[in-house]
Amino acid sequence: MEQVKTTEVGGTVSHLLMLCTIVFLGFLTLGISLGTLPDFVTSGLGFSSLMVGVVIGVQSAATLATRHYSGTVSDVRGSKRAVMTGLAFCAGAGVFYLVAGAFVAHPVGSLLLLIVGRLILGLGESLLITGALSWGIGLMGTHYSGKVMAWNGISMYGALAFGAPVGMWLASALSLEWAFVSVVALPLIAMIVADRLQGVAPAGNVRMPFYKVVKSIWRQGSGLALATMGFGVIASFITLYFAQQQWANASLSLTIFGASYILARLCFSHLPDKHGGRIIAFYSLLVEAAGLICIWMATSPQMAFAGVALTGFGFSLVFPAFGVEAVKQVAPQNRGVALGGYVAFFDLALGVTGPVTGWLAGFYGFAVIYLVAALAAVSAILLNQSAKAGK
């Protein structure tokens, strides 16, 4: 059983840093996977890029499908238990990768093993981040919800950005098997760290139905989903947009987005807790919308880079800002399922944004999808304001 928290704020900054280290180590498995699996599926197994999309995408589908389950585990069994179980599943995914690597002579069998591993990793990721958010808020107290979400977000995105090149380096400098071994080893190291961090008592023992979760947090979740379109169109299409405009250094866009995103969180993660999520969401969405309009109207790569920077800076605090308000909509014993449902809106938005905006770009060009994303951010502002007015 987890150690019971005796005060409302039982954690310190060092505890939060330990939790962020756990998340970073766990999410390195996702980054390493992104850096190694596409080449393995195409060059190693001889499948097409379409199958790469299936292998990569099935993990996101599993994550989305298990968000509510992960929240329930966190609430009923304890957030520490959710994190430890999630890390165990992440390590298990690495085992399936290793076995798949041993069956290269049988491509179909190897591919099926990879898909099973990706499904397991999706469940592991869902348990890990939902449990980590709930654990952090339980340790630090609800007055630090925004900071917990912001710092965990830095750990997640940092691990994804760092893990991909690390996985590619391991595969080229040593071997693909060593890259897969690291997918097994890193979550196990994270489990050792997690075992040393104090737990918090399970918040409740009653499973909250999914429809009640959605009914409680739909405004905050919908605002997050609308804002996520800006991130989705940059991540998916910015390089193609640059190519269409015949601009160089398209890859620099993602670096600029990531740098401005992390900068905003490092400098301003305390603002949602201090001033409330609604007001911070309002200004953040304004900045994001301005950035997306700048990209849409760009007449030079420098103008597009400026728009990307503004978008990353604005989007950065949207998640913790709306998240602070989402946590307020439910009782403490249902915090985990609320967080799981809230994050599911982000997953759903990413899954829908790519196909829908890609279809639009095929008819109207890539510039227009940044205008559409800007209008989505403005819609999120209106939704945020209607929630403030109590409509």
Query: Between the CA atoms of 351, 355, 356 and 361, what dihedral angle is there, to the nearest 10 degrees?
Result: 140
Residues 250 and 161 in one domain: no
Neighbours of 251 (CB within 10 A): 10
The helix or strand, by DSSP H or E, that contains position 391, with its residue range, turns out to be none
70 lies in the same domain as 115: yes
Instruction: Write the DSSP assignment of 121-177 as a string of letters.
Output: HHHHHHHHHHHHHHHHHHHH-GGGHHHHHHHHHHHHHHHHHHHHHHHHHHHHHT-HH
pTM metric for this prediction: 0.74
Residue 150 maps to a domain: yes
Higher pLDDT, 161 or 19: 19
351 vs 349: CA distance, rounded Å: 5
pLDDT digits (tens, 9 = 90+) for 245-262: 888 887 788 778 888 888
- Amino acid letter, residue 72: T
**Contact, 312 vs 256, CB < 8 A?**
yes
Domain count, the chain: 2
**In this structure, are 87 and 65 located in the same domain?**
yes
Q: Please report the pLDDT score of residue 204 as a whole number.
A: 59
Task: Judge whether 269 lies within some domain.
Answer: yes
Let me know if 351 is exposed, middle or buried by CB neighbors in 10 A (0-12, 13-18, 19+): middle
Residue 305 within a domain: yes
Task: Decide if 46 is inside a domain.
Answer: yes
Whether residue 152 is found in the same domain as residue 224: no
CA-based R_g, the chain, Å: 20
Looking at the fold, whether 227 and 137 belong to one and the same domain comes out as no
pLDDT digits (tens, 9 = 90+) for 371-386: 999 999 999 998 877 6
Is residue 183 within 8 Å of residue 90, measured between CB atoms? yes
Q: Do residue 189 and residue 219 come from a single domain?
A: no
Joined tokens for residue 145: 């919800």
- 256 within a domain of the structure (yes/no): yes
Residues 142 and 239 reside in one and the same domain: no
Q: What are the DSSP calls for 149-162, one per residue? A: HHHHHHHHHHHHHH
**Structure-block tokens of residue 175:** 């071997």
Region of poorest pLDDT, from 113-117, 283-287, 381-385? 381-385
98: in domain: yes
Task: State whether 373 and 239 are in the same domain.
Answer: yes
Boundary of a domain, candidates 148, 164, 196: 196
**Does residue 374 lie in a domain region?**
yes
- Tell which residue, 142, 141, 145, has the closest CA to residue 280: 145
Q: What does the pLDDT average to over 10-36?
A: 84
Residue 77: which domain range? 13-196
CATH number of residue 83's parent domain = 1.20.1250.20
Is 366 part of a structural domain of the chain? yes
Q: What percent of the chain has pLDDT over 90?
A: 25
Asked if 38 contacts 133 with a C-beta cutoff of 8 angstroms, the reply is no
Say if residue 4's pLDDT is above 50. Answer: no
pLDDT of residue 161: 73
Residue 244 and residue 385 share a domain: yes
What is the structure's pLDDT at 335? 66
